[in-house]
Amino acid sequence: MDKIDKRRKYDEAFKTEALRVARESRSTQATARGPNIRSKLLYEWQKAAQPPLPADPAEAAEVHQLRAANRRLEQELNI
């Protein structure tokens, strides 16, 4: 008996639009509820869309800190 894949398939245009809306929104979870996407899946798309960290551990740590600071500033700006 064949197993039926019940997972929804999303094309690149849909993913791109969902990521754009999530960037402009205050809440990724609220963005995911709109088109009924699992918020974990949307977080995975966001992580995959980020450029990779540099190979140098010192630079990677700095980029990680800057990204965290940027997220905090965006949240403050939205408030």
pLDDT, tens digit, 9 for 90 and up, residues 47-73: 898 888 788 888 889 988 998 998 888
Whether 22 and 31 have beta carbons less than 8 Å apart is answered as yes
Q: Residue 8 pLDDT more than 80?
A: no
Check residue 69 and give its pLDDT.
93
Check residue 1 and give its pLDDT.
46
Average pLDDT, the chain: 83
Hey, where are the domains in the chain?
A: 12-78
d(CA 2, CA 76) in angstroms, rounded, equals: 50
Backbone φ and ψ for 8, nearest 5 degrees, come out as -75, 150
Check residue 23 and give its pLDDT.
82
Higher pLDDT, 25 or 19: 19
Q: What residues contact residue 64 under an 8 Å CB cut-off, 6+ apart?
A: 53
